[in-house]
Amino acid sequence: MTTATTGAAAAKAAGRTKPATMAQALQRAMRDAMAEDPTVHVMGEDVGTLGGVFRVTDGLAKEFGEDRCTDTPLAEAGILGTAVGMAMYGLRPVVEMQFDAFAYPAFEQLVSHVARMRNRTRGAMPMPMVIRVPYGGGIGGVEHHSDSSEIYYMATPGLHVVTPATVEDAYGLLRAAIASDDPVVFLEPKRLYWSKSEWSPEAPARVEPIGKAVVRRPGTSATLITYGPSLPVCLEAAEAATAEGWDLEVVDLRSLVPFDEETVAASVRRTGRAVVVHESGGFAGPGAEIAARITERCFHHLEAPVLRVAGFDIPYPPPMLERHHLPGVDRVLDAVARLQWEAGN
């Protein structure tokens, strides 16, 4: 992960094309997929003429026509429900839910049909589709514009749940999601939409397999396990922790379902300590599942309990208070300090 400034500066210094944003990478992923495969259809509220409220679908309607990038009526269940029928007929819908909390009306379709159609039909009717959901806070949004809804999707068998944290991954994972023969809930960390890197919108780009975590920063004394919007926080914390003598490894999950237990377990066995960091609530949150899995797999390697740094278990707060809710560098460092654990603590 390159931060906005260093990435842009490095690209400029190297005389390369101007840095791309995550939003542009996502857009190119859809464009490339649509150009390659005529069955790929983008649909949602305002995705056509406007190019989406985050401009992620900008230009697609112009390039591919309104039949391939469609402004739908304002109805999330209808959007996802019609996408089910389209997938039944051999199309690959890429559906945009405008904001995290506005995907809830579509849950019925998601949970009752999208997620279980393959299973219900004994594999005869797969549901190849992507449900793109801008999620998470940190952009000063009003209520219902900042939810971290990943746990609902994770708890629904039949769905893949993917979330990129870098511009490169935004492209690579979305291409893989569109190519997947199973439904993928593609969670886009909206506060990273404008993050930049040296990734060029013109140069050839990689497709990333779904289900593989990556070590973003190697380290020896503890592992931070994170994904999506919390990755930059963890990288910053890891840098800061060096002053305290901690050499932190940072694992970016990239995919919550399937969950890459191997990469996580291998890292924790090396370091002996782990902290899971995410924005969504901690109670029955993703970190609970991950911590349990680490304990089951790495019990004898652990020098301390697996800790979680999560958002509070509260409805997402109003923008003026969100900085208190979102796990920041300090909270991560506090947790790291607590990893100096002694029995009887």
Instruction: Return the range that interacts with other proteins (CB under 8 A); candidates 55-63, 116-124, 144-152, 276-284.
Output: 116-124
300 catalytic per annotation = no
Cβ atoms of 156 and 286 within 8 Å: the answer is no
SS3 content of the chain, % helix, strand, coil (to 5): 40, 20, 40
**Which of 317, 313, 324, 270 shows the shortest CA–CA distance to 288?**
313
| Token pair recorded at residue 301 | 């390697």
Q: 57 or 70, CB closer to other proteins?
A: 70
**Residues 303-342, interacting with other proteins (CB under 8 A):** none
**Residues 23-42, interacting with other proteins (CB under 8 A):** 41
Interacting residue with other proteins among 4, 53, 211, 240 (CB under 8 A): 211
CA distance 301 to 62: 56
CA distance 303 to 300: 8
Interacting residue with other proteins among 8, 261, 288, 331 (CB under 8 A): 261
Instruction: Return the range that interacts with other proteins (CB under 8 A); candidates 9-17, 21-29, 89-97, 312-320.
Output: 89-97
Nearest approach, Cβ of residue 309 and other proteins (Å): 24
**Residues 134-173, interacting with other proteins (CB under 8 A):** 157-158, 160
Number of H helices, E strands in the chain: 13, 14
Q: 112 or 220, CB closer to other proteins?
A: 112
Nearest approach, Cβ of residue 29 and other proteins (Å): 20
Nearest approach, Cβ of residue 122 and other proteins (Å): 5
Q: 77 or 266, CB closer to other proteins?
A: 77
CA distance 310 to 326: 8
> Within 10 A of 170 (CB to CB), how many other CB atoms are there?
33
Nearest approach, Cβ of residue 287 and other proteins (Å): 17
- Three-state SS for 112? helix
Residue 299 lies near other proteins (rule: CB under 8 A): no
CA distance 325 to 314: 9
Interacting residue with other proteins among 35, 125, 292, 337 (CB under 8 A): 125
Interacting residue with other proteins among 21, 24, 82, 166 (CB under 8 A): 82
Element (H, E) at 262: helix 261-271
| Token pair recorded at residue 75 | 């109805």
CA distance 181 to 246: 42
Instruction: Return the range that interacts with other proteins (CB under 8 A); candidates 75-83, 276-284, 317-325, 334-342.
Output: 75-83
**Residues 44-73, interacting with other proteins (CB under 8 A):** 67, 72-73
- Three-state SS for 127? coil
Interacting residue with other proteins among 6, 49, 121, 242 (CB under 8 A): 121
Cβ atoms of 20 and 197 within 8 Å: the answer is yes
Interacting residue with other proteins among 89, 300, 342, 345 (CB under 8 A): 89
The active-site residue out of 41, 113, 144, 145 is 145
Q: 8 or 77, CB closer to other proteins?
A: 77
Residue 147 burial (10 A CB sphere; 0-12, 13-18, 19+): buried
Instruction: Look up tokens 């840095």; give the residue.
Output: 19
Q: 118 or 191, CB closer to other proteins?
A: 118
CA distance 275 to 237: 12
Residue 186 lies near other proteins (rule: CB under 8 A): no
CA distance 291 to 248: 17
Residues belonging to the active site: 145
Interacting residues toward other proteins by CB under 8 A = 41, 67, 72-73, 75, 77-78, 80-91, 93, 105, 108-109, 112-113, 116-126, 157-158, 160, 180-182, 211, 257-259, 261-262
